[in-house]
Structure 1
Amino acid sequence: MIDVLIVGAGPAGLSAGIACAHHGLKVKIVDEFTRPGGRLLGQLHEEPNGTWWNGLEEAKCLHEQARRLDVEMECGVSVYDVKKTNQGWRVDTSHFSIEVAKLLLATGAAETAVPIPGWTLPGVMSIGAAQVMTNVQRVRVGARGVVVGVNVLSVAITRELQLAGIQVERMVLPARNVVNKETGNPLKVMQSILRVAHLAPSAIIRLGSKCLKSEALQKLALRFFPSSGISMWGVPIQLKTVALEIIGDKQVEGVKLVKVTPTGEPIPGTETVVPADFVCIAGGLYPLVELAAVAGCPFVFLPQLGGHVPLHNERMQTSLAGLYVAGNITGIESAKVAIAQGTVAGLSIADDLDKLQDKSLLCAAIEQVEIVRQNASIQFQTDIKQGRQSLHRMYEQHLSRFREEAKRPSSNILETNVL
């Protein structure tokens, strides 16, 4: 008899399974990928203190802990429906159907598409796909490439490609259009990469980034930003150059570029074509929330968290009884935060099933999430702390409204899924 089903075998799902099983619960984890680990499988970067974060090793460690605690795990399984029942939740998958008392969604995040002409050519891929091919499948994505899209994720993965011996010619922005408004805005992009400037190998870049606190100074810096870009690990990051088109007949052969003003307007006569045999497109990440929507979970839209996220509290409980969330489905953050959130979710489930003897463990785990967040070397979103505070406040307001409506004998409670 399974007590808890966890959808997602990434850092949040694995750590949640460990916490649940440690307190005597029967746990099953499913994931549509062929092996556990999620986004951890492709991660490899150097921390500010000089140590290396090896996602493969971290995933292996979590997987082994889960196995020692008899957590049942099944990969290659897709979940397509979840329904609330009187006893808990019914979950339908590509391999089986199951009813459980508690359901945790740890589905992670997906990449935002950034459409530019020629993006369907062979040799064009998302930056996340390049990471998986390089670090997990050990496949060389190409000999010489261009990264279109400059953000926290693309800067980190570009470094990983470089460490694998793959030449990245340059990083540029996509041309601005109705879809690429933010990713093609030089000022917005500058503000985003300032959050990882402390990881730059150049002391000048690290020092300069600390001086650019106000938007006025950032606009001034962008005005004098060299058109050739600033080199990071030998890769030019060009905030005033955009990709107009990916060139090629049967595969990628080059990228057509043009210089732009600080506001992103193309400068006529500055078009060039640079040769390349692969292109990585980076549009950032957004929470993968489809299953939460199918479950009927209320949502809020918070740009600080990456988009629409399910309403939930610090215990990772949603407003639907027996449904929990953890990891990037709750907002885009690092794998370390996801691991900490998974532990909270697991302990919260154990507590709700009267299996948690020491209540202080849950309080300590909630505090640990904030400690990990504060010490995170990489922040994917601005004002993440304020976003979390807003989310938890909205959760309490939502429950208060629901309770007030429930007290009215003649009321018909009609909830909206997006606030």
Structure 2
Amino acid sequence: MTVVVIGAGPAGLAAASAALRAGADVTLLDSSDQLGGQFWRHLPDSAHAAKQHVLHHKWGTFEALAREVTQHPSCSVVANAQVWLLEQRAAGAPRVHAHVGPVDSGGRETLTLDPHALVLATGAHDRTLPFPGWTLPGVYTAGAAQALAKSERIALGSRAVVAGAGPFLLPVAQSLALTGARVLGVYEATTTAALLRGWGAKPWQLTAAVGKMPELAGYVAGHVRHSIPYRTGRAVVEAHGTDRVEAVTIARVDETWAPIAGTETTIETDAVCVSHGFTPRLELAIAAGCTISADRFVEVDARQQTSIRGIYAAGELTGIAGADAALAEGALAGHFAANGPRSAHIGRAARARDRFIDFGTRLDAVHSPRRGWTQWLRNDTTICRCEEVTNGELTSIQSQTASCGLRSLKLSTRAGLGICQGRICGRNVEELLGEDFADGVTTDRRPIVSPVRIGDLADAAAAEPPTEDPHTAGDLHPRETLKGTS
């Protein structure tokens, strides 16, 4: 039994571990040069850091999982693996096409895998709502700030502002403070009333949150120790500067996140870190034909199997609920992908998964963006950074063309057609243009998942495997030679 796991964050590592314990041969692919994903993004081994746990929760869990997958004789860990295509087959999991090597380098290794089962654990990335000045140097996603703090011990500025929505703002502020920045404040867009109403209702449904209380207490203690203010019902509505950010305007917002006139305050800063939630990376799931829910996550059953037999999904693909949920979902996905028998361990994972799903549902309801954010935009505010498309151009072209299809609007406005292929601006463009499009297209649909050189495509064609023999389905193809790397 062969299982391919795509993504080596908490969900992917847990899936690989569970599949190995169930007796499968596992290939674990990740686009990074080290294991851990965004949650456990850490210093390189050459740094010999003695206190990695300071900026990482559950660091011991990561070390145990990493040891297991890298030392197990039935596991191949392939780093710097860019999965660019899933090719559907008549039976079984899809064929996986990847290139191995540094991004944008020439002559990357071509890798083709035909597994019996596939686990998707591709995670998510920051969603950032645009505002005037957000393209200035010095304005970062909160995820970028967190990644540099964890993996390089670099603070992005000496006077930082953290803003957006959700609990993720708390560890970001703490990481910045621990790496030497003065955090001027954390500004949560959700109002105090909405927070109390959302988190206070039916508290018995939040049993999973009990285990997070020590983590929350740690953040509170850190904020007190570093004198970091925490303000609710406030948002960054503009960044100011010439060559880089020099100040931001903070305004109070109402429950729809619309700015309240007359409440603006300007703060001098050299770093702004913003996050308004996360966007799941759905490209591979969509390419595989998996059903996507109305709230834009991969639908799975109790075993984490998607609507396509042999394909499983875990972690932020199925809902944003934190690392604990990802670990539980990954354990279930890997176990059942390998046809493992039911056990007490899997039963515990299922119960933990269900508790954390309730927590994630509440998290989304309380902190997801409200439509009032569009009121802090101006006509000249850039929406698509790659193609430099402004808010005024978007709305003007939509009005002039009377188009009701996202594909035609993308072609006429250029929004979402740049190098990021709509990963940063896509959801924002959809909200600004109306969301319900006649052609049923979404900005998550990217058949070619990552940019590919023409030469790499030629190499892939030359290495195309022979017609599949049903008796050998699941074997790795000869060019897969990176077993045991990490």
TM-score, with structure 1 as normaliser: 0.70
Q: In the alignment, which residue of structure 1 is the partner of 2:266?
A: 273
Distance (Å, rounded) in 2 between the aligned partners of 1:364 and 1:417: 41
**2:83 is matched with which residue?**
79
Q: Deviations over 1:389-411 (max 9, x none)?
A: xxxxxxxxxxxxxxxxxxxxxxx
Q: Structure 1 stretches of 5 or more lacking a match?
A: 44-50, 174-182, 207-229, 303-307, 386-415
Change (3 A) 1:126 1:188: farther
CA distance, structure 1, for counterparts of residue 139 and residue 216 of structure 2: 27
- Using the alignment, how far apart are the partners of 1:142 and 1:185 within structure 2? 27
State whether residues 311 and 318 of structure 1, in contact with CA within 8 Å, keep that contact through their aligned partners in structure 2.
yes
Rounded to whole Å, the distance in 1 between the matches of 2:18 and 2:169 is 32
Q: CA deviation at 1:295?
A: 0.6
SS in 2 for 1:274: strand
Question: What aligned pairs does 1:44-83 form with structure 2 within 5 A after superposition?
Answer: 54=57, 56-70=59-73, 71-83=75-87
- In the alignment, does 2:342 pair up with 1:360? yes
1:156-182, Cα deviation, whole Å (9 max, x unpaired) = 321232233321101225xxxxxxxxx
Residue 122 of structure 1, CA deviation? 1.1
Alignment partners' CA distance in 1, 2:169 and 2:57:
17
Q: Distance in 2 between matches of 1:55 and 1:39?
A: 14
1:287-302 matched pairs, under 5 angstroms: 287-302=280-295
Matches of 1:320 and 1:234, distance apart in 2: 50
Q: Distance in 1 between matches of 2:227 and 2:9?
A: 32
1:311 aligns with 2:299: yes
The correspondence of residues 94-133 of structure 1 with structure 2, limited to 5 A, is 94-95=99-100, 96-133=111-148
SS at match of 1:21: helix
Alpha-carbon displacement from aligned partner over 1:288-325 (angstroms, at most 9, x marks no partner): 211100111111124xxxxx122211111112121111
What's the CA shift for 1:31? Answer: 0.9
Alignment of 1:382 with 2:397, yes or no, is no
Q: Partners in 1 of 2:260 and 2:120 — Cα distance? A: 47
| Residue 87 of structure 2 corresponds to residue 90 of structure 1 | no
**Does the aligned pair in 2 maintain the 1:87–1:101 contact within 8 Å?**
no
CA offset digits 1:46-68 (Å, max 9, x no partner): xxxxx995355433321111122
Pairing 1:145-224 to 2, within 5 Å after superposition = 145-173=160-188, 183=189, 187-188=193-194
- Structure 2 match to 1:137: 152
What is the CA distance between 1:270 and its match in structure 2?
A: 4.1
Please say if 1:320 is aligned against 2:323: no
Structure 2 CA distance for partners of 1:235 and 1:265, relative to 1, 3 Å = same
Give unpaired runs (5+ residues) of structure 2: 43-53, 101-110, 201-205, 366-439, 443-486
SS at match of 1:382: helix
Using the TM superposition, give the Cα deviation of residue 259 of structure 1 relative to its aligned residue in structure 2, in angstroms. Answer: 3.9
Are 2:119 and 2:314, in contact at CA under 8 Å, matched by a contact in 1?
yes
User: Given the alignment of the two structures, is residue 342 of structure 1 paired with residue 330 of structure 2, yes or no?
Assistant: yes
| Corresponding residue to 2:275 among 265, 276, 282 | 282
* Match of residue 352 from structure 2: 371
In the other structure, the counterpart of 1:9 is 8
Task: Kindly provide the CA deviation profile for residues 93-126 of structure 1, in whole angstroms up to 9, marking residues without a partner as x.
Answer: 1242221211110111121121111111111111
Answer whether contact 1:297 1:417 (CA < 8 A) is retained.
Answer: no
**Residue type at the aligned position of 1:74:** V
In 1, Cα distance between the equivalents of 2:291 and 2:238?
A: 40
1:7/1:106 contact within 8 Å kept:
yes
SS in 2 for 1:136: helix
1:242 to 229, 235, 241: 235
Higher relative contact order (CA 8 A, sep 6+): 2
More strand by share: 1
Q: CA contact under 8 A between 1:3 and 1:102: conserved in structure 2?
A: yes
Give the whole-Å Cα distance in 2 for the aligned partners of 1:150 and 1:383.
10
Q: Distance in 1 between matches of 2:97 and 2:22?
A: 26
| Alpha-carbon spacing, 1:111–1:61, altered in 2? closer, same or farther (3 Å) | same
Give the letter for the 1:234 counterpart. S
Matched residues in 1 for 2:197 and 2:78: separation?
Answer: 41
**2:338 and 2:80 mapped to 1: Cα distance?**
27
Distance 2:175 2:198 in 1: 19
8 Å CA contact 2:163, 2:236 repeated in 1: yes
C-alpha root-mean-square deviation of aligned residues, in Å? Answer: 3.5
What are the Cα deviations for residues 234-292 of structure 1, in whole angstroms up to 9, with x where unaligned? Answer: 32222243322111111111112334566655454443321101000111113221110
Identity of aligned residues (%): 28
| Distance in 2 of aligned mates of 1:383 and 1:167 | 28
Contact 2:325 2:352 in 1 (8 A): no
- Measured after TM superposition, the shift of residue 369 of structure 1 is 3.4
